[in-house]
A and B are shown apart, each in its own frame.
Chain A
C-alpha cells in the first residue's frame, strides 16, 4: 500500500509541474470565467436559468473536450516511460507491477479530475456570492458524471498505453476513438434508424453503450422532460426508464467500463516484456 501511494503521489507531483497540466487547468477554469463574463447566469432562455444554465453549458462542453484531453495526455504514460527507458530504471526497485500500474492510475486520476471538478466548484461558490440559487441536485449529478467520465477515458487511455508501440500510433488511436464516439456512432445509428431495419428501442440501447452518449443524455436528465431541447433520444429514454435508474446507470456503467479497460491494460502490462 505504501508503494502504491508513493507512486501515485510522485506521479501527481510530476503532472502538476507539467505544461499540459497548466493548459488543462486554464482551459476549464477559463471556461467558467468566460461564462460569468458573458453573463450566462443572468440570461433567461427556455426555462434554464442562472447557475443551472451555466453548469449545463459547462458539462456539455466538457463532455466533448475532456475525453480527448485525457486520452492525449495519458495515452503515453506507460508506453512513453517504456520508450524512454524510464521503466527500465524505475522497475529495477522492488515495487510490484500491480502497485506501479495502479499507483500511476490513481495519481493520474487525481490530476485530471480535480481541475474539472474545482472549476465547477468555483462556479458554484462565485454564483452563490452573486446571489444565485444553487442547483444542488445538478451539482451532485455533474460531479458524478465528471467522475465517471474521467474513469472511463482514463481506463481506455491506460489500456492503449499498455500495448501501443509508438507515440504516434497512440495519439492517432486516441483521436480515432474520440471522433468515433463523438460522431461516427451517431451517424451510423441515425442511418440505420432511417432505413427502419431495427427497432428504435434497440438502436437507442446501442447508442447508450457509448459513454459519451450516456453523458449527453444524463446531463439533461434532471431538467423538465417537456423541454424540446432534449431531443427525441433523451425523451425516449427518460420516458421508458425511471430517472433514478438512468442516473445511477449513467455513473456506474462508465466507471465500470473504465475499470474493465484498465484491468485488461494491467494484464497486458504484466504479461509482456517490460522494457
Chain B
C-alpha cells in the first residue's frame, strides 16, 4: 500500500531522510523506532505529502500524496507527535473532521467512550484547553472512527496514563486487520502484541528491518 523509493529529504545541509527505500503492505503493523532526530517524523510527514522530497518517490496505493492529496488522505488516519493547540472547540473540531473526511460522529463518540473520554460535557471547550491526555484521546478516537486502511501514529502515547494506553492498544488490536499500521514508538515492549514488523532508523537511514 505504501511504496517508498529512494527518498531523500534535506533541510539545508541536514539530511533527514537518506535514500530511504521500503514498502509497507496490507496486514503489516510496523513499529518505527530510532533515537530522537533519526528521521521518523520526517518519514511520516513525507508519507502524508507534507514534504516535497529532494529525491525519490512515495506512492500510496499507486498515488502521489502531494499531487493526489484528497485521494490519498481519504485512506489515512494520523495522530501527530504532539496534539496541536487548535482553537476550535470540540464540537467544531468534530464538525471539521466529520464533514471533511465523512466520518460518522457516532463512531467518534463510541471510540471516545472506549477511551474513557467524556465528549458530551466538553463540547464547548476549546481543544487547546483540554489536558494533554484528553487531547490525545480525542485524536485517537477520531483516528479510529475514520476507519482508514492506513493508520499512522507518531508517538501518540506520551500523555496517556497506563490505563488509557491499554485501552488504546486494545482498540488498535481490534482494528488492525487488513490494514497498514505504522507506529512510531520508543517502547517496543508495549506494542509487541500489536506489531509484526520492526524498523530501526538512524541518521535518516533504515538500519534494521525485521519481521517478527
Q: Are B100 and A94 in contact (CB under 8 A)?
A: yes
Q: Are A86 and B48 in contact (CB under 8 A)?
A: no
Measured between beta carbons, the chain A residues less than 8 angstroms from B84 are 84-86, 88-89
Q: Are B69 and A94 in contact (CB under 8 A)?
A: yes
Question: Closest residue of chain B to A273, judged by CB?
Answer: B51
Q: Residue-by-residue, is B65-105 near A (CB-CB < 8 Å gives 1, otherwise 0)?
A: 00001110110101010111111100010011101110000
Q: Are B45 and A97 in contact (CB under 8 A)?
A: no
B50 to chain A, nearest CB (A): 4
Q: Residue-by-residue, is A11-29 near B (CB-CB < 8 Å gives 1, otherwise 0)?
A: 0011001100000000000
Q: Residue-by-residue, is A138-159 near B (CB-CB < 8 Å gives 1, otherwise 0)?
A: 0000000000000000000000
Question: Closest residue of chain A to B71, judged by CB?
Answer: A94
Q: Is A90 part of the binding interface, using a Cβ–Cβ cutoff of 8 Å? A: yes
Question: Which B residues from 12 to 54 make CB contacts under 8 A with A?
Answer: 45, 48-52
Q: Are A273 and B82 in contact (CB under 8 A)?
A: no
Q: Give the contacting residue for A90; candidates B69, B70, B82, B86; CB below 8 A.
A: B86
Q: Within the assembled complex, what's the spacing in Å between the Cα atoms of A97 and B67? A: 11
A6-B95, A6-B99, A85-B82 known; A92-B88 Cβ under 8 A = no
Q: Is A136 part of the binding interface, using a Cβ–Cβ cutoff of 8 Å? A: no
Measured between beta carbons, the chain A residues less than 8 angstroms from B49 are 274
A85-B82, A86-B85 known; A96-B70 Cβ under 8 A = yes
Q: Give the contacting residue for B76; candidates A10, A92, A97, A271; CB below 8 A.
A: A92
Q: Are B92 and A10 in contact (CB under 8 A)?
A: yes
Q: Is A43 part of the binding interface, using a Cβ–Cβ cutoff of 8 Å? A: no
Measured between beta carbons, the chain A residues less than 8 angstroms from B70 are 94-96
Measured between beta carbons, the chain B residues less than 8 angstroms from A248 are none
Question: Closest residue of chain A to B126, judged by CB?
Answer: A17
Q: Is A183 part of the binding interface, using a Cβ–Cβ cutoff of 8 Å? A: no
Question: Closest residue of chain B to A95, judged by CB?
Answer: B100
Q: Is B184 part of the binding interface, using a Cβ–Cβ cutoff of 8 Å? A: no
Measured between beta carbons, the chain B residues less than 8 angstroms from A85 are 80, 82, 84
Measured between beta carbons, the chain A residues less than 8 angstroms from B51 are 273-275
Interface residues on B, range: 20 to 34
Measured between beta carbons, the chain B residues less than 8 angstroms from A271 are 52
Q: Are B100 and A6 in contact (CB under 8 A)?
A: yes
Count A/B pairs, Cβ under 8 Å: 72
Q: Within the assembled complex, what's the spacing in Å between the Cα atoms of A17 and B86? A: 13
A6-B95, A273-B50 known; A93-B101 Cβ under 8 A = yes
Measured between beta carbons, the chain B residues less than 8 angstroms from A10 are 88, 92, 95-96
Measured between beta carbons, the chain B residues less than 8 angstroms from A130 are none
Q: Is B201 part of the binding interface, using a Cβ–Cβ cutoff of 8 Å? A: no
Q: Residue-by-residue, is A254-275 near B (CB-CB < 8 Å gives 1, otherwise 0)?
A: 0000000000000000011111
A269 to chain B, nearest CB (A): 12
Question: Closest residue of chain B to A274, judged by CB?
Answer: B50
Q: Is A243 part of the binding interface, using a Cβ–Cβ cutoff of 8 Å? A: no
Q: Within the assembled complex, what's the spacing in Å between the Cα atoms of A137 and B48? A: 53
Q: Are A93 and B97 in contact (CB under 8 A)?
A: yes
Q: Is B164 part of the binding interface, using a Cβ–Cβ cutoff of 8 Å? A: no
Q: Is B134 part of the binding interface, using a Cβ–Cβ cutoff of 8 Å? A: no
Q: Are A275 and B45 in contact (CB under 8 A)?
A: yes
Q: Give the contacting residue for A13; candidates B83, B92, B99, B100; CB below 8 A.
A: B92
Q: Is B58 part of the binding interface, using a Cβ–Cβ cutoff of 8 Å? A: no
Q: Within the assembled complex, what's the spacing in Å between the Cα atoms of A92 and B70? A: 10
Q: Within the assembled complex, what's the spacing in Å between the Cα atoms of A92 and B93? A: 13
Question: Closest residue of chain B to A100, judged by CB?
Answer: B100
Q: Is A2 part of the binding interface, using a Cβ–Cβ cutoff of 8 Å? A: yes
Question: Which A residues from 184 to 231 make CB contacts under 8 A with B?
Answer: none
Measured between beta carbons, the chain B residues less than 8 angstroms from A14 are 87-88, 92
In addition to A88-B80, A93-B97, A275-B50, 18 A-B residue pairs with Cβ atoms within 8 Å of each other are A2-B99, A3-B99, A10-B88, A85-B80, A85-B82, A86-B84, A86-B85, A86-B86, A89-B84, A91-B50, A92-B48, A94-B73, A94-B74, A96-B70, A271-B52, A272-B52, A273-B51, A275-B51
* Contact sample, A vs B, 8 pairs, CB 8 Å cutoff: A2-B99, A84-B85, A89-B86, A92-B76, A93-B101, A94-B73, A273-B52, A274-B51
Q: What residues make up the interface of A, taking CB atoms closer than 8 Å to B?
A: 2-3, 6, 10, 13-14, 17-18, 84-86, 88-97, 271-275
Those 4 A-B pairs whose CB atoms lie nearest each other, nearest first? A92-B78, A85-B84, A94-B73, A274-B50
